[in-house]
């Protein structure tokens, strides 16, 4: 079966993300413009991308279909491409058996399985999963992992969930979802079952019990707070902070409205819609702006931040009235 363009883009994204995570570098893959000089059967079988890796131009061969291929054939194809490329060539695979890895390593074929292994002998790189630290309770979930938990709690999605389907529903790459499951697998209230290439997420608790178990490792969604004045009358973001809490409870509204934006929305709005201030000056159109680790709109209700994220953002607020309002709000959730 041939890979669709969207799947190819997903593989490229996962490769970039993996290299950033594993090596702390950012690469910018580009299409190789010399593909036309290759034999037609190679150009048809593979897509080719190149980028600079540690100051070395590297070419990546991405197989266009999911049919299995003998390591010897891959070695032959790489040797043919090597005649047109002066530098390391890396074979990219979404999945690889232990036998295939062994044979490719024996034949000194550089390869990468994003999220799993990078074998690049010309540059002295051999990073593999067996060197990873054992999983332990995280203490604080990554944003993507927290989104998974919020999805489960709000959608009552307690039935076993296949990782690839969960990634599709939430708009994450397979690599990001794999890391999320790795984090969750360290917690006692979660089970992760592996069957071949698929991983399935299961929960040992549901509803309010799951929330009580998960809340200690869930983080505030707020990355930072700033102040800004709207340059027009358009509406952006979702109601958050004390403004959102006042909409859910009898708490009086804050004098300065509070809104939440994702990091991407903040960056865009800062250029077009918002003038940032160092302090909450008394000027018309002033807002307190929370910049969140994940999309505030994802679980918002009628443009108001979701209750769980709101609770996490305000749970350490010193004012006793706010604490009482938070507890009152959480009691109203239909677990």
pLDDT in tens, the chain (335 residues): 455 455 567 778 788 888 877 777 888 999 999 999 999 999 999 999 999 988 899 999 998 876 778 899 999 999 999 999 999 999 998 777 778 888 999 999 999 988 778 899 888 888 765 433 334 444 578 999 999 999 999 999 999 999 999 999 999 998 899 889 989 988 888 988 887 778 899 998 999 999 999 998 999 999 988 888 776 655 688 999 999 999 999 999 888 899 999 988 888 776 666 666 666 666 667 888 899 999 999 999 999 999 999 999 999 887 889 999 999 999 999 99
CA–CA separation, 2 and 46 (whole Å): 11
Nearest to 15 by CA among 62, 77, 57, 56: 62
- Determine the Cα–Cα distance for residues 62 and 49; give it in Å rounded to an integer: 8
What is the dotted CATH code of the domain comprising 5-131? 3.40.1350
- Report the C-alpha gap between 16 and 229 in whole angstroms: 36
| Burial category of 40 from C-beta neighbours within 10 Å (exposed 0-12, middle 13-18, buried 19 and up) | exposed
CA angle 241-242-247, nearest 5°? Answer: 105
- Report yes or no on whether pTM surpasses 0.75: no
Domain spans in the chain, listed from the N-terminal domain onward: 5-131, 143-217, 222-331
Which overall architecture, per CATH, does domain 143-217 show?
Answer: Orthogonal Bundle (1.10)
Residue found under tokens 């969140």:
292
CA dihedral 63, 116, 19, 23 (to 10 degrees): -150
């Amino acid at each position: 079966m041939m890979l669709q363009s969207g799947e190819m883009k997903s593989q490229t994204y996962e490769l970039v993300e993996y290299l950033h995570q594993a090596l702390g570098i950012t690469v910018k893959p580009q299409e190789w413009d010399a593909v036309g000089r290759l034999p037609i059967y190679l150009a048809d079988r593979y897509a080719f991308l190149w980028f600079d890796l540690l100051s070395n131009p590297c070419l990546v061969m991405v197989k266009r279909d999911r049919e299995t291929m003998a390591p010897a054939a891959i070695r032959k194809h790489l040797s043919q491409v090597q005649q047109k490329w002066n530098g390391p060539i890396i074979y990219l695979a979404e999945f690889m058996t232990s036998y295939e890895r062994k044979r490719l390593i024996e034949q000194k074929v550089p390869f990468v399985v994003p999220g799993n292994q990078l074998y690049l002998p010309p540059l002295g790189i051999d990073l593999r999963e067996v060197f990873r630290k054992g999983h332990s309770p995280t203490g604080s979930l990554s944003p993507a992992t927290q989104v998974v938990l919020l999805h489960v709690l709000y959608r009552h999605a307690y039935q076993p969930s296949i990782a690839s389907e969960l990634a599709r529903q939430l708009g994450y790459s397979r690599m990001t979802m794999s890391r999320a499951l790795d984090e969750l697998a360290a917690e006692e209230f979660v089970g992760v079952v592996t069957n071949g290439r698929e991983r399935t997420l299961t929960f040992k608790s549901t509803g309010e019990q799951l929330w009580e178990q998960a809340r200690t490792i869930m983080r505030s969604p707020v990355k930072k707070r700033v102040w800004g004045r709207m340059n027009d009358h358009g509406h952006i973001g979702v109601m958050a902070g004390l403004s959102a809490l006042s909409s859910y409870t009898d708490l009086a509204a804050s004098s300065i409205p509070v809104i939440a934006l994702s990091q991407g929305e903040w960056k865009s709005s800062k250029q077009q819609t918002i003038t940032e201030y160092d302090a909450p000056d008394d000027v018309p159109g002033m807002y307190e702006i929370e910049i969140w680790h994940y999309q505030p709109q994802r679980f918002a209700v009628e443009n108001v931040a979701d209750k769980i994220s709101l609770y996490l953002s305000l749970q350490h607020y010193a004012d006793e009235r706010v604490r009482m309002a938070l507890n009152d709000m959480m009691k109203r959730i239909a677990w």
